[in-house]
Amino acid sequence: MKEDATPTTELPADLLEDAEDAEAAADGAADADMSRVRGWRRILRGNRTLWIVALCAIVSLIAGLLVGRFLIAPAAASEAPEPGLVTVPVEFGALSNDVTLRADVGYADAVEVTIDTTGGGSIVTGAVPEVGATLSPLSIALEVEGRPVIVLPGELPAYRTLRMGVSGPDVLQLKQALVSVGIDAGDVSSNLFDQATANAVGALYAQAGYPLPTPEEGADEAVRGAEESLRSAQSGVTQAQQALAAAGAGPSKLESWQADVKVAQAEQALAAAKACVPGDAEAEPCPNVQQAEWDLKTARLERDQLWSAKNTGPEKAALDAARAQVDAANEALADARQSVQPYLPAGEVLFLTELPRRVDAVNVKRGSSIQGAVMTVSGATVRLTGAAAEADARLLEAGDEATFELPDGTEHRAVIAELKPGKDSKARWEVLFEPDPLTPEQITQLQGSNVRVRIAVGATDGDVLSVPLAALTAGPGGESRVEVVDSDPREGEDAETRMVVVETGLAAEGAVEVTPVDGELEEGDLVVVGR
């Protein structure tokens, strides 16, 4: 058997180790390459959606570049067309110049109601109205400690108790209010609270269904005392009159008879003296006539003095004093009786203007104590309250008509009721509107809302031709003109146009009323507003 002749060469040990290291390194590199490949595969598989989006973005970018290169660029490179005339058509219709403002919808003249509780309690015991309730004349606004607060028409607030003897404008207001609700208050031109007024107040409480206010403590006892004093004074007058009569009765019957007899004897003696005729010497001489006359006069004077000698001065003075006491007792009784006459406490009446009124808010409830305003009331009618700049406000007048939009989109009419200037020249004016009657449903929907109100301060009488203000030009004589285009406006300066002289009218909202004076102008004609 023949042996292989190829020689076998054995490598040195160090070379053999280097070879093994190189082979191991090559194997490691191969393993590293395989790891990188597997990592990229994982990235591609885990973010497939991201790669798809990125690919779409790249494709879109390339497509946009191609479109810009082959479509837009050639178009931009071409020449732009000549600009045409800027025109607008002539319009035909009504034209108005409006003032527009915003307004709040609510009930008119809201006021806070306060009640005077200084003269009594402050606990609410009943008659608390609900929000939305209506307060009319003779309504009970509230019940405080069992006593009513009666509503009456009037501008002055109740600031004092009204009773017999007081006077003033508040008494006059009370009388007029009572008459307005059908209660007779006597002379309504007088501002004095008299007996007729007291009787009317009594009728007021009877109609309200409440008893009269309790008189002040001790008033009844004062009346009884004054009545007793009057009776005593009247008795004193009677006694004084009797004393005066007794003092002025004259002499007794005996004294009177004796005086008469003495006078009669003197008269007889005088008659005998006058009748005596002188006789012989033995006869008695005739009485002296003159002496007899003196004796008669003396007898008569004594008789007269007998009747007038009695002095009644003290009795007369006593009677005068007794009568003065009666007068004083009558005045005291009148004052005492006034204290028990019907009166009206300040806390039991509420004067309000423009009745009926609507209750907007109630700040108290039954059992609570009154502190501050008890409620807020407003007029029963709806009012729109808006604000306008001074320049716009001076274009408006009370009575001007306006329109605003209802919740269903329809226009509703209103009238300017009042214009209130601002406190200074820069302040806005307050404009109050009264709308035409609204249904309860519409009031509920509008209450508290803010609406847009338009007031026509100038309007054409029917339909007219109008063009934009920019269409007007001035002619050589200062006349107003419009340039009408009869051909295609896109022809620019080559377009066929003509000038029409017009007379201008109302200008509103950028348009102006025009009437052709020289030339023809119709609805739909194109007028130049720019080139």
Burial of 467 (0-12, 13-18, 19+ CB in 10 A): buried
Cβ neighbours around 17 below 10 Å, total:
11
pLDDT score for 218: 79
Are residues 140 and 205 in contact, defined by beta-carbon separation less than 8 angstroms?
Answer: no
Q: Which two tokens stand for residue 439?
A: 């249904």
- Mean local confidence (pLDDT), 388-396: 87
Spatial CA neighbour of 371 closest among 142, 161, 117 = 117
Report whether pLDDT(28) > 70.
no
pLDDT score for 245: 76
* Greatest mean pLDDT range, 93-107, 172-186, 497-511: 172-186
**pLDDT: which is higher, 115 or 31:** 115
pLDDT score for 204: 96
Q: Residue 202: pLDDT band by 50, 70, 90 thresholds?
A: very high
Q: Residue 41: pLDDT band by 50, 70, 90 thresholds?
A: low
- Mean local confidence (pLDDT), 102-116: 87
Q: Residue 181: pLDDT band by 50, 70, 90 thresholds?
A: very high
* CA end-to-end distance (rounded Å), the chain: 119
Rounded Cα distance between 333 and 483, Å, is 100
394-398: Cβ within 8 A, 24+ apart: 395/99, 395/457, 396/99, 396/431, 396/455, 396/457
> Starting at the edge strand that comes first in sequence, how are the strands of the sheet with 124-126 ordered?
124-126, 140-144, 147-153, 349-352
pLDDT score for 22: 47
pLDDT score for 13: 46
Cβ neighbours around 423 below 10 Å, total:
7
pLDDT-wise least confident of 12-26, 125-139, 307-321, 356-370: 12-26
Report whether pLDDT(491) > 50.
yes
pLDDT score for 310: 59
| pLDDT tens column, 43-84 | 555 566 656 766 776 767 776 666 555 544 444 444 555 678
pLDDT score for 200: 96
Cβ neighbours around 257 below 10 Å, total:
11
Report whether pLDDT(530) > 70.
yes
Does 462-530 match 381-459 at the fold level?
A: no
pTM of the model: 0.51
Are residues 148 and 104 in contact, defined by beta-carbon separation less than 8 angstroms?
Answer: no
Report whether pLDDT(16) > 90.
no
SS3 call for 321: helix
Report whether pLDDT(270) > 90.
no
pLDDT score for 75: 45
Give me the architecture of the 462-530 domain, per CATH.
Beta Barrel (2.40)
Share of the chain above pLDDT 70, in %: 81
Q: Which two tokens stand for residue 527?
A: 């007028």
Q: Residue 157: pLDDT band by 50, 70, 90 thresholds?
A: very high
pLDDT score for 1: 38
- Mean local confidence (pLDDT), 13-23: 47
Q: What is the mean pLDDT of the chain?
A: 82
Report whether pLDDT(515) > 90.
yes
- Mean local confidence (pLDDT), 143-167: 93
Are residues 152 and 137 in contact, defined by beta-carbon separation less than 8 angstroms?
Answer: yes
- Mean local confidence (pLDDT), 254-266: 83
pLDDT score for 39: 53
| pLDDT tens column, 397-455 | 999 999 999 999 999 999 999 999 887 656 789 999 999 999 888 988 898 899 999 99
Spell out the domain ranges in the chain.
111-213+342-376, 256-307, 381-459, 462-530
| pLDDT tens column, 440-470 | 889 888 988 999 999 988 888 889 999 999 9
pLDDT score for 53: 63
Are residues 497 and 485 in contact, defined by beta-carbon separation less than 8 angstroms?
Answer: yes
Q: Residue 331: pLDDT band by 50, 70, 90 thresholds?
A: confident
pLDDT-wise least confident of 237-241, 248-252, 299-303, 323-327: 248-252
pLDDT score for 70: 52
Q: Residue 36: pLDDT band by 50, 70, 90 thresholds?
A: low
Q: Residue 17: pLDDT band by 50, 70, 90 thresholds?
A: very low
Q: Residue 29: pLDDT band by 50, 70, 90 thresholds?
A: very low
Peptide bond into 356 cis (omega under 30): yes
- Mean local confidence (pLDDT), 319-336: 87
Fold of 381-459: Elongation Factor Tu (Ef-tu); domain 3 (2.40.30)
- Mean local confidence (pLDDT), 187-197: 94
Share of the chain above pLDDT 90, in %: 41
- Hunting for tokens 């031109």 — which residue is that? 189
pLDDT score for 286: 77
pLDDT score for 266: 86
User: What single letter denotes the amino acid at residue 239?
Assistant: Q
pLDDT score for 208: 94
